[in-house]
């Protein structure tokens, strides 16, 4: 059950913070809209509420001060909207690395960038910054958290990394080989998606949503469409409902297959990558044959789906199921029986279960650390309310557990695809998404890496007045910082790949 | 493991290469000279740089290395450092936050070098053009020799573009 927005007073806001801090509710998102800050929380797993607090003097009581998972979200609000969190422990900017022409770009009245004069920045501070001082707005410096102790050294990695991977900056402090602290600095791929959304038509905004994180394009357009449909009080027709889930499971399957191979490859076990990449390719080709695009981009639209599955699609999918079901068990056994590989994955990069709970970590990161949350199960959105599937959960929290969650979910997705194509209803593909005056909607879908949350407010003309997209990565990136502690730097790539957080989905 | 390993030696998956992209060939003719061909041989090292993409292009660039496309059979390979690279393969609209990093990566790449802009966003910023956080296409920051369109381009399109580059460069 998803409840619409409730306006609260300062007392109500503080009470909500108290509940988060006590662990009786889970933070699902924290964002701003004009001069309001909004918070989505869940009580239990299935009861989602949105509360909003109007910042009359441009400030709101800090959530992050009492509940750490909110810290980066709050920093993003401060950076993008210029609204300040009172009592915040960390007031450094987030996403803005000092290269934009405007400060607080989403503020109701965007101001030109202002800051301290360049002379006031000492050379020492400049060098601490992860990026070049040239072409930066004056006053934009960034101080990484201090680490003190004997024999410590820093290793700076990124934004351009060694592989075919998204950009981000990692600052390691190490004692010999062992990581004492990792601090991330993200925002390099910030494209201003939420800014571009404002005033966009539903159709254009849906395309933007589908380009928030390319690997989850289905999950994003799915969540965006559901949020818009909630706002407009319309329902996609049954055939569209099933086709959406079919695409979501194909996307999950392709990503999990790719990830299992890539994680093993980071342990120098290239054989698994070679085989998994073949299965992934076959999945993408089947998706292409069914929906005309390998990643199934722009097929889900508000109101339904833009195109039907190709006539030969069902046969393609049955062939895919046969191929994966024949090849996968042997590869699973290979993973399980290769001691040199297990040596790298077992007990590496452990996420403590209390952190997974506190941060509301979704996807394989949460489920490998005992948090049995899956939006498909928790919110029972159609057609998942009528489909049979398990949500695998493990307790170990290491790289191995995150691999196993993916292995088990590959099997679940295969079973789901079979169920969906077995009962795909006939009928129309979409209903019209007509404007119905100012309205709001929130929806969540389960992407392969965890829950995606989309909240939007539409104006009189049915255009997007404000849309917030929250990737699962927001609550997973901070846990990667905890998971690497005490591990060796050489194991960072395998830990990082086992999380496979989205940079673009986070940076927006 | 032995059985899986031996079975995978048969190699029935790798497909015939697509014909080099004609339009791409034309675009390249202006930027590549004979001397470079002699120096490089039929081999190019590629450094991929994500300058702001949604990661969709990265997925398809990764696919180039799978058994179906097997990029390395053409002498094309991905390297970890721009200092080892002949080609920069750049994706995404260039975000303001990545502009400087892209320029530095370009400057770190030894001559002769080529820049391939991959995807619709890399051409002109695509759907993200006009944002306060976006600089524009790759050509707005570093000189570009070849554009491969698509959202994202599929591996065959990527391969066709790269083969065109190889024919001219090597």
A189 contacts B67? CB cut-off 8 A: no
Find the mean pLDDT for residues A441-462: 96
> What is the chain A residue with the closest CA to B96?
A99
- pLDDT per residue as tens digits for the range A145-179: 988 889 999 999 989 988 899 999 999 999 999 99
pLDDT grade for A3, boundaries at 50, 70 and 90: confident
> What is the chain A residue with the closest CA to B12?
A278
On chain B, the residues whose CB falls within 8 A of the CB of A214 are 53-59, 152
Find the mean pLDDT for residues A297-324: 97
pLDDT exceeds cutoff 50 at A481:
yes
pLDDT exceeds cutoff 90 at A260:
yes
pLDDT for residue B32: 46
- The A residues from 139 to 168 touching B (CB cutoff 8 Å) are 159-160, 162-167
The whole-angstrom distance between B4's CA and the closest CA on chain A is: 8
Find the mean pLDDT for residues B22-29: 61
pLDDT exceeds cutoff 50 at B35:
no
pLDDT for residue A392: 97
pLDDT for residue B25: 57
Give chain B's mean pLDDT.
Answer: 86
| Cβ atoms within 10 Å, residue B161 | 28
pLDDT for residue A130: 43
Long-range contacts of A34-41 (CB under 8 A, 24+ apart): A34/A108, A34/A466, A35/A83, A35/A108, A37/A77, A37/A83, A38/A5, A38/A455, A38/A468, A39/A13, A39/A63, A40/A442, A40/A453, A40/A455, A41/A16
The model carries a pTM of 0.92
Q: Which of B5, B56, B66 sits opposite A277 (nearest CB)?
A: B66
pLDDT for residue B7: 73
pLDDT exceeds cutoff 80 at A396:
yes
Find the mean pLDDT for residues B94-122: 95
A187 contacts B96? CB cut-off 8 A: no
Find the mean pLDDT for residues A133-138: 56
Query: Mutate which of B11, B66, B150 to test chain A, going by most A C-beta atoms within 10 A?
Result: B66
Find the mean pLDDT for residues A363-373: 97
B139 phi and psi angles, rounded to 5 deg: -65, -20
pLDDT exceeds cutoff 90 at A262:
yes
On chain A, the residues whose CB falls within 8 A of the CB of B130 are 196
pLDDT for residue A79: 94
pLDDT exceeds cutoff 70 at A272:
yes
| Cβ atoms within 10 Å, residue A311 | 8
pLDDT for residue B9: 59
pLDDT for residue A341: 95
pLDDT exceeds cutoff 50 at B108:
yes
Q: Which of A40, A34, A42, A47 is nearest to A6 (CA)?
A: A40
Report the distance separating Cα A97 and Cα A103, nearest Å. Answer: 11
> What is the chain A residue with the closest CA to B89?
A164
Q: Is A239 on the interface with B (CB under 8 A)?
A: no
Find the mean pLDDT for residues B37-53: 81
Query: Mutate which of A79, A189, A259, A339 to test chain B, going by most B C-beta atoms within 10 A?
Result: A189
């Amino acid at each position: 059950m998803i409840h619409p927005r409730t306006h609260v007073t300062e007392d109500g806001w503080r009470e909500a913070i108290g509940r988060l801090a006590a662990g009786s509710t889970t933070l699902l998102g924290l964002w701003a809209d004009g001069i309001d800050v909004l918070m989505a929380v869940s009580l239990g797993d299935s009861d989602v509420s949105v509360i909003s607090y109007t910042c009359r003097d441009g400030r709101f009581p800090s959530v992050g001060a009492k509940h750490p998972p909110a810290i980066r979200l709050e920093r993003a609000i401060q950076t993008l909207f210029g609204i300040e969190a009172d009592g915040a422990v960390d007031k450094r900017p987030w996403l803005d690395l000092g290269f934009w022409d405007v400060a607080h770009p989403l503020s109701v009245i965007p101001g030109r960038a202002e800051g301290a004069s360049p002379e006031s920045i000492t050379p020492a501070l400049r060098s601490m910054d992860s990026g070049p001082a040239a072409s930066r707005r004056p006053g934009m410096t960034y101080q990484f958290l201090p680490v003190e102790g004997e024999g410590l050294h820093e290793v700076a990695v990124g934004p351009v990394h060694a592989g075919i991977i998204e950009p981000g900056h990692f600052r390691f402090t190490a004692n010999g080989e062992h990581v004492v602290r990792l601090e991330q600095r993200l925002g390099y791929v910030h494209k201003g998606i939420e800014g571009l959304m404002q005033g966009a038509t539903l159709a254009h905004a849906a395309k933007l949503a589908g380009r928030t994180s390319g690997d989850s394009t289905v999950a994003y357009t799915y969540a965006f469409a559901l949020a818009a449909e909630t706002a407009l009080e319309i329902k996609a027709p049954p055939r569209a409902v099933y086709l959406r889930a079919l695409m979501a499971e194909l996307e999950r399957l392709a990503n999990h297959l790719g990830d299992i191979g890539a994680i093993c490859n980071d342990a120098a076990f290239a054989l698994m990558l070679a085989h998994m990449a073949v299965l992934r390719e076959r999945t993408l080709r089947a998706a292409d044959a069914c929906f005309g695009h390998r990643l199934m981009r722009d097929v889900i639209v508000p109101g339904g789906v833009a195109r039907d599955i190709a006539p030969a699609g069902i046969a393609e999918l049955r062939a895919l199921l046969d191929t994966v079901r024949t090849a996968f068990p042997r590869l699973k056994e290979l993973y399980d029986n290769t001691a040199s590989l297990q040596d790298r994955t077992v007990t590496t990069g452990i996420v403590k279960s209390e952190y997974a709970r506190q941060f509301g970590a979704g996807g394989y990161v949460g489920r490998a650390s005992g948090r049995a949350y899956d939006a498909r199960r928790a919110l029972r959105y159609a057609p998942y309310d009528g489909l049979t599937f398990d949500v695998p959960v493990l307790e170990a929290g290491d790289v191995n557990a995150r691999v196993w969650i993916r292995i088990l979910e590959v099997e679940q997705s295969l079973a789901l695809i079979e169920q969906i194509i077995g009962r795909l209803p006939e009928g129309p593909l979409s209903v019209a998404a007509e404007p119905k005056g100012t309205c709001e909607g929130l929806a969540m879908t389960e992407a392969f890496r965890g829950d995606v949350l989309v909240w939007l407010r539409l104006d009189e003309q049915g255009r997007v007045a404000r849309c917030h997209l929250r990737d699962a990565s927001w609550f997973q990136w901070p846990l990667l910082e905890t998971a690497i502690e005490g591990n060796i730097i050489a194991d960072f790539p395998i830990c990082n790949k086992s999380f496979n957080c989205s940079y673009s989905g986070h940076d927006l | 493991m032995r059985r899986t390993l031996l079975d995978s030696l048969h190699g029935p998956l790798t497909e015939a290469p697509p014909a080099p992209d004609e339009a791409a060939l034309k675009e390249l003719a202006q930027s590549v000279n004979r001397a470079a061909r002699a120096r490089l041989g039929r081999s190019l090292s590629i450094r991929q740089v994500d300058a702001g993409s949604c990661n969709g292009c990265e997925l398809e660039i990764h696919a180039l290395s799978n058994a179906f496309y097997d990029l390395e059979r053409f002498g094309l390979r991905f390297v970890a450092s721009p200092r080892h690279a002949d080609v920069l393969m750049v994706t995404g609209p260039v975000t303001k936050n990545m502009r400087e990093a892209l320029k530095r990566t370009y400057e770190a790449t030894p001559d002769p070098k080529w820049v391939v802009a991959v995807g619709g966003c890399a051409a002109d910023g695509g759907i993200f053009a006009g944002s306060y956080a976006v600089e524009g296409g790759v050509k707005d920051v570093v000189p570009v020799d070849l554009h491969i369109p698509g959202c994202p381009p599929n591996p065959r399109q990527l391969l066709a573009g790269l083969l065109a580059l190889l024919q001219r460069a090597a």
